[in-house]
Amino acid sequence: MKKLFLFFTLTLLFIIDLSAQSKKGPDLKKLDAYFAKMVQDWDVPGASIGIVKDGKLVFTGNYGLIETGKPEKPDENTLYAIASNSKAFTSAIIGLLVQEGKLNWNDRVKDHLPYFSLYNDPWISSQVTVRDILSHRVGLGTFSGDVIWYKSEMSAENMIKLAGKLPQAYDFRAGYGYSNLMYITAGELIKKITGKTWGENVKERILIPLEMNRTLTSARELESTNNITTPHGRENDINFPIQFEDWNEIGATGGIISSVTDVAKWMIFNLNHGIHGKDTLLTRSTRNMVWTPHNNFPVDHTRKNDLGRHFSGYGLGWNLGDFHGKLMVGHTGGFDGMITAVTMIPEENLGIVVLTNGHKSPIMAATYYAFDQFLETGTKDWSADLLVRTNENQKNDTRIADMKAKRVMDTKPSLPLSTYAGIFHTEVYGNIIVTIEGEELLLEFENSPRLSATLQHWHYDVWEIVWDEKHAWFSFGTVKFQTDNDMKVTGLEFQVPNDDIFFEELKPRKVSN
């Protein structure tokens, strides 16, 4: 009997020991090697990755270079633009104002910003609430109007006024259209209520309390610090350095610049549901409000998916879904030359931040692979799988190639060169100016001088746009001069293939020679 008891005791201890071993977590050296190969395979210039678990930063990995052609490497304190991951900071500031009784989630935006309007529709304009602009359900199409603010020198207020003239893509509150302009609106709302800028609010109310000491709210602060990564564009499978953009005026939609170390503090704060140390900064009500879906996306329940996903939606500044049945909360960010992701699984007190300084970026490959390793939910090679999909998508995008293939050689413009010059006005932007210099036409955007270009004849009354500087989101494009039945130039028609900055929305009409 004693021998039998001893056998069961030893067996139980063995099982307990195996269980303890299985809960030690993933092999971090294996994870590090995976990420290193991933960065190389994707040909992203550099990346910094951090993982938090149970309130601690348990992993940091840094790969590649700060800038191609230079020897400096990133570390956990290297600064990257986190772009639209800033939207969660914006909704948090709104939440703090609600907690203080200075604002309500269902307040009508127009009551605070009288100049706010949409679609020349008085009723819709009067009904849009704070929740509507934070959950992308006002009726604008995804990225519609980004051409208004991109590299613009306008004030945020003027951008918002121009946004009111954009076309409606779907019925009010009847769909999802990711809108940077509505988050710019949220930033101005914060400014109106507090008398301080969005950046000042973020710094005072979030960055200082959380001791996010290296995080900036504007690129204008970069001159006073160091260890900054360089953004890179990508063309013909080649990465090239570009300048760091100043998103100060549109900070509420994507202005934060941070590091793995500091974003880890932000994730730990959120995984602790808005409590930092002994201080409750965000109440339970605020936490639940921003993490509740206000805009839902379809999920195909008739077939399995790689994430084991059952629902998907957008809260207030956060993407929401599930990862094999566990709530997954996060966001991605796209800045000129940098792509980033912040993703958390609150139930597991687990989060990962992926910061990269290139446009072909494995942010979600790193995220899902790390989650699989920590949660033991699969052995899928996410990097290999998503790289194949990315390459296929790029291969299948033949828009530029198709345009070039349709060029008709040996044609001439219909009119004398001087006839094409003039001022062209568009309601959603302002003036676009075409001038003549010698034998060349020059293109200028009055509110965005850095979008200037030389026009080279393509065919008939179409010119190729040769940008004066390289841009991250678009490269090749053409512009057609429209004429009436009397062969008088009446307007411009842009064709600049890309998925983010829609020049086609401009539709300029000629107003003077």
DSSP state of 282: S
DSSP state of 85: G
pLDDT of residue 25: 80
Q: Which helix (H) or strand (E) holds 401?
A: helix 399-405
pLDDT tens per residue across span 201-241: 999 999 999 999 999 999 999 999 999 999 999 999 999 99
Sequence-distant (6+) residues with CB within 8 A of 70 are: none
As a whole number of angstroms, the distance between CA 117 and CA 138 comes to 11
357 vs 1 pLDDT, higher one: 357
pLDDT tens per residue across span 290-336: 999 999 999 999 998 989 999 999 999 999 999 999 999 999 999 99
At residue 81, what are phi and psi to the nearest 5 degrees? Answer: -75, 125
Contact 358, 239 (CB under 8 A): yes
Res 14 pLDDT > 70: no
Q: How far out from the chain centre does Cα 512 lie?
A: 38
> Average pLDDT for residues 416-439, to the nearest whole number?
96
**Secondary structure of 154-188 as H, E, C letters:** CCHHHHHHHHCCCCCCCCCCCCCCCCHHHHHHHHH
Flag whether the pTM goes above 0.85: yes
pLDDT tens per residue across span 148-199: 999 999 999 999 999 999 999 999 999 999 999 999 999 999 999 999 999 9
Res 144 pLDDT > 70: yes
Contact 71, 420 (CB under 8 A): no
pLDDT of residue 395: 94
Domains of the chain with CATH codes: 49-391 (3.40.710.10), 406-512 (2.40.128.600)
Q: How far out from the chain centre does Cα 43 lie?
A: 20
List, in sequence order, every beta strand (DSSP E) within 54-140.
56-64, 80-81
Res 24 pLDDT > 90: no
